[in-house]
Structure 1
Amino acid sequence: MKALLVKNINKYFYEPKKFQVLKNVNLEVEKGEFLSIIGKSGSGKSTLLYLLSTMDTEYEGEIYINETKVTGLSQNKLSDFRNKHIGFVFQFHYLLPEFSVLDNVMIPALKLNLKSKEEIKERAIELLQMLDIKENETKLASKLSGGQQQRVAIARALINEPTIIMGDEPTGNLDSKNTEIVFDIFQKLANKGQTIITVTHDDEFAAKCNRIIEFSDGEIIN
């Protein structure tokens, strides 16, 4: 089953003048694939990721996620869809510093409101255990190291059992040891059938993925 289908995507920026940032991009991603998008700064890779995540809707072409056409959906429907189907891991973790680790992980599921608070808590603890940070569940997010914070961000991205995990430079702020830990987590998730798409400047990270998509001047070149 296809986790993602991208058809003839074109994207323009209009400031300071009209500029085409994505040119006729076509892409298919199978369920359970772990792929990295690479390319120089300004090549369009992060722009594509934001379109795929439905956070940017200004483009020409069509995007299907989990066989649902997301192009043209209202902002409310997209917000619901995103919460159910997409887990996003940023370069910076964006945790709420005054909340505990456990509360940070639970927030997207509480917002989705499909399960009881107890079920959500159970799932959050399970994820923290899987990511080897359960002993920090009651700590404030601000009291963790950078590597631990990024693992909490991954747990948060997984709480609603999304179709796809997307990462924009998810290891960009991490040292080599924590980068390896995050890669291994993604690899294990992919082995269990989770689809993962990351944008990265880290060639070593990309080389270990199932597939590399290389971008140059808004086009897939490899």
Structure 2
Amino acid sequence: MEDKIALTATGINKYFYQPERFQVLVDINFSVKRGEFLSLTGKSGSGKSTLLYILSTMDTDYDGKLTINDEVLTGQSQNQLAAFRNAHIGFVFQFHYLLPEFSVLDNVMLPALKLGSKSKAEIEEKAYQNLKLLGLQDQALKLSSKLSGGQQQRVAIARALINEPSIIMGDEPTGNLDSKNTQIVFDIFRQLAAERGQTIIAVTHDEDFAKNSDRVIELADGRIISKN
């Protein structure tokens, strides 16, 4: 069976205009297969986080074409892109961005309540399933602010999974974690790709994290210098 392509970036160029015109991404071309675990690496200023924000559809000010799940997203309206993101993309950032006054369960449920395609009872059940997958079901009713940093990052992953996205994008998802919790997060991503066929695209500075993913795309000065 032919591998299904989850995402294709074609001829992506990106400019910053302050303080003067500067090209930050130069002719970026690559595809990612469904169920692939891809790391984007490069030194600070290489353009990897800028690229991730274009891939995530949050930055639309670029030249070129972005296709996800056979849908061309370049040129779509902000409302269309927001709806697409909610349904197809899960996000895990370096900082977990949990709402401290909400319980763990409520934080996980939020994106699904916003999407509104399932009943609250169904969403709650799914949230519990995700927390169980991440070993956190016993923390569900705690305030998120009462959890450790590693636990909070796992809650953020549970939240990213709530709408069953086909692609999970991480921006330094282990950047604030110690080595033990970094390994836990890596293993979760590996499991999601292998068992659920979810595509993982993560920007990382962590060489071990990158080395153990399926493939590494390295950027330097806004250009892809390797796609191993």
TM-score bucket of the superposed structures, by smaller chain: over 0.9
Secondary structure of residue in 2 paired with 1:77: helix
CA shift at 1:202, angstroms? Answer: 0.2
**How many equivalent pairs are there?**
222
Q: Deviations over 1:104-141 (max 9, x none)?
A: 00000000000000000000000000000111000001
- Which of 71, 94, 99 does residue 91 from structure 1 map onto? 94
With structure 2 as the length reference, what TM-score do the two structures score? Answer: 0.97
SS in 1 for 2:50: helix
Q: Secondary structure at the match of 1:180?
A: helix
Separation in 2 of the partners of 1:111 and 1:156? 12
**Whole-Å separation in 2 of the counterparts to 1:37 and 1:80:** 25
Superposed CA offset, 1:4-55 (max 9, x none): 0110000000001000000000010000000101000000000000000011
Aligned-pair Cα RMSD in Å: 0.4
- Distance in 2 between residues matched to 1:8 and 1:212, nearest whole Å: 19
Runs of 4+ in structure 1 over 6 Å off:
none
Aligned to 2:165: 162
Matched, 1:221 2:225: yes
How far apart, CA to CA, are the structure 2 residues paired with 1:158 and 1:190?
12
Structure 1 counterpart of 2:183: 180
Matches within 5 A, 1:26-105: 26-105=29-108
* Alignment partner, residue 196 of structure 1: 200
Write the distance in 2 (CA, Å) between the matches of 1:48 and 1:163: 19
Distance 2:39 2:26 in 1: 19
Q: Percent identity?
A: 68
User: Which amino acid is the alignment partner of residue 194 of structure 1?
Assistant: Q
Report the secondary structure of 1:221's partner residue: strand
Deviation at 1:163, TM superposition (A): 1.3
- C-alpha distance in 2, partners of 1:156/1:65? 21
2:165 partner letter: P
Q: In structure 1, how many angstroms separate the alpha carbons of the residues matched to 2:132 and 2:187?
A: 15
1:18 has 2:21 as partner = yes
Quote the Cα distance in structure 2 between the aligned partners of 1:101 and 1:27. 37
Aligned to 2:202, the other structure's residue is in SS state strand
TM-score, scaled to structure 1: 0.99
Unaligned runs of 5+ in 1: none
Q: State how 1:104-143 maps to structure 2 within 5 Å.
A: 104-143=107-146
Structure 2: gaps of 5 or more residues? none
